[in-house]
Amino acid sequence: MMTNNLSELVAWRHHFHQHPEVSNFEFETTAYIKQLLSSWGVRLVPTTLTTGVIAEVGDASKGPTIALRADIDALPITEATGATYTSVNTGVMHACGHDFHQTALLGSAFELKQNEAELQGLIRFIFQPAEETHTGADDVIAAGHIDDVQAIVGFHNKPDLQVGEVGILKGGLMAAVDQFKVTFTGIGTHAAMPQLGNDPIVALSTTISTLQTIVARNVDPQQTAVVSVTHIAGGSTWNVLPESAWFEGTIRTFTNETRALSKQRFYDIVNGQAQAFGLKVVIDWSKGPDVTENDPVLTEIVSDETSKFLKVVKPAPSNAGEDFATFSQKIPGVFVFFGSHGTADWHHPDFDVDDAALPLAVEWYTRIATRLLREI
Ligand SMILES: [Zn+2]
Ligand SMILES: [Zn+2]
């Protein structure tokens, strides 16, 4: 039987880090997790999920059912950390630290399995696929894995918190995410004869600038929002005005009101600009995760238990989105930031976590799960 010591945790984490897989393609990751869990006798729950692992310890007849969730996918980023365990999958990298999350949950599954007879209820481990594409939580829910769950808990590593610090906040911790793509279509022509066509490039640049007024002039200054255009494309050479051009990006907000207002202003501005320039416009709007909202009662319990062995700090909410929100809209949930003293921020080619935080995260999952079974 394996023991749950630091060197073993580090070995698992480095294995995941070296073999990252993008959303919905976490096949080897899934196999590795299943193999470890099975070797400890942890029950694997049958699932219709293609990737990801659902497992359980405990007994639902003895008390409540709770879920511990970790995400397992990586990102299409080329790693630049220079670590000895650098990704061997070209162009794919664990740049969000999900290798850390799944390792901590594995360690906790091992520990909880050792104490299974004493558990006052059932603990379900959700190794969730496809967080980065914000579809995995929906798939786990559709597969029925939280139908009987009374509370769900998860965390994200936080590079700017020290090892031993945990950021806990009641209410909104991470932002609602909306994604947009706008395509302007006019009439292509020679660059030297713009009067013969209808140029989408100038309209696009004016529109992108004007969209910044949503935050500067529409959103309440006491609220927060981000409007980022991240990708623009149009034309193919220097002396031709193209027929069409497009841009895409994202909006992040922390309340439903700000979210609705930002979307309305976005449509008003884009449609208004298209009309002003006499262009056709298509807006593709994709609604991402809602605000990651922490249940006040559960948050109190989690905060109290955490403060017994770690330093609880009040974090600033993050404008990143997190599809844990999809779970915590359905059932009470708590999501926290776990100090990982990172070398760079999330999604950066230099990103990595401090392995010293691993045993703390294992203990955190274990203690929170055990306490929640007794108290909810
Ligand atoms: Zn991420
Ligand atoms: Zn992440």
Average pLDDT, the chain: 96
- 110 vs 113: CA distance, rounded Å: 5
Assigned domain for 157 exists:
yes
Q: How far is the CA of 97 from the centre of ligand 1 (A)?
A: 8
The reply, when asked if residue 98 is annotated as ligand binding, is yes
Q: Are residues 267 and 310 in the same domain?
A: no
- Taking the centre of ligand 1 as the mean of its atom positions, its distance from the CA of residue 132, in whole angstroms, is 5
The bound ligand whose nearest atom lies closest to the alpha carbon of 348 is 1
Residue 347 C-alpha to ligand 1 middle, in angstroms?
6
Which has more pLDDT, 342 or 127?
127
The alpha carbon of 207 and the centre of ligand 2 are apart by a number of angstroms equal to 31
192, 150: one domain: no
Are residues 126 and 53 part of one domain? yes
Indicate whether 163 and 205 sit together in one domain.
no
Considering 262, 287, 312, which residue would you say is the last residue of a domain?
Answer: 287
Distance 289 CA to ligand 2 centre (A): 13
Instruction: Indicate the pLDDT class of residue 1, thresholds 50, 70 and 90.
Output: very low
Average pLDDT over residues 94-120: 97
Centre of ligand 2 to C-alpha 206, Å, is 33
When pLDDT is averaged across residues 207-219 and rounded to a whole number, the result is 97
245 pLDDT exceeds 80?
yes
Domain boundary among 271, 287, 303: 287
Residue 209 lies in a domain: yes
pLDDT score recorded for residue 4? 59
- Say yes or no to pLDDT of 3 above 60: no
Convert the pLDDT of each residue in 174-198 to its tens digit.
999 999 999 999 999 999 999 999 9
Q: Which residues contact 283 (CB under 8 A, 6 or more apart)?
A: 180, 181, 182, 266, 267, 270, 271
- Listed ranges 62-71, 287-296, 336-345; the one with the highest mean pLDDT: 62-71
Q: Is 333 helix (H, G, I), strand (E, B) or coil?
A: strand
Where residue 256 falls among pLDDT bands split at 50, 70, 90?
confident
The domain total for the chain is 2
Residue 41 has pLDDT above 50, yes or no: yes
Predicted confidence band of residue 172 (pLDDT cuts 50, 70, 90)? confident
Flag whether 15 is marked binding.
Answer: no
User: How confident is the model over 24-33, as pLDDT tens digits?
Assistant: 999 999 999 9
pLDDT in tens, 138-155: 999 999 999 999 999 999
Residue ranges near ligand 1 (ion) with Cβ within 5 Å: 96
Average pLDDT over residues 227-238: 97
Please choose, from the candidates 279, 287, 216, the residue with its C-alpha nearest in 3D space to the C-alpha of residue 251: 287
- Report the separation in Å between the CA atom of 12 and the middle of ligand 2, taken as the mean of its atom positions: 18
Question: Does the annotation flag 156 for ligand binding?
Answer: yes
pLDDT of residue 292: 93
pLDDT of residue 255: 85
Domain containing 98 equals: 6-173+291-375
Question: Is 139 a member of any domain?
Answer: yes
Closest ligand to 340 CA? 2
Residue 9: pLDDT band by 50, 70, 90 thresholds?
very high
Measured in Å, residue 6 CA sits from the centre of ligand 2 at 23
Q: Is 220 helix (H, G, I), strand (E, B) or coil?
A: coil
> For residue 39, is it within any domain?
yes
Residues 21 and 80 in one domain: yes
pLDDT attached to residue 258 = 94
261-285 pLDDT per residue, tens: 999 999 999 999 999 999 999 999 9
pLDDT of residue 242: 98
Please check whether residue 352 lies inside any domain of the structure. yes
pLDDT exceeds cutoff 70 at 75 = yes
The owner of tokens 């909810």 is 376
Q: What long-range pairs does 46-50 form, CB within 8 A, spacing at least 24? A: 47/143, 47/145, 48/143, 49/129, 49/139, 49/140, 49/143, 50/24, 50/129
Q: pLDDT tens for residues 113-136?
A: 999 999 999 999 999 999 999 999
Structure-block tokens of residue 263: 């979307």
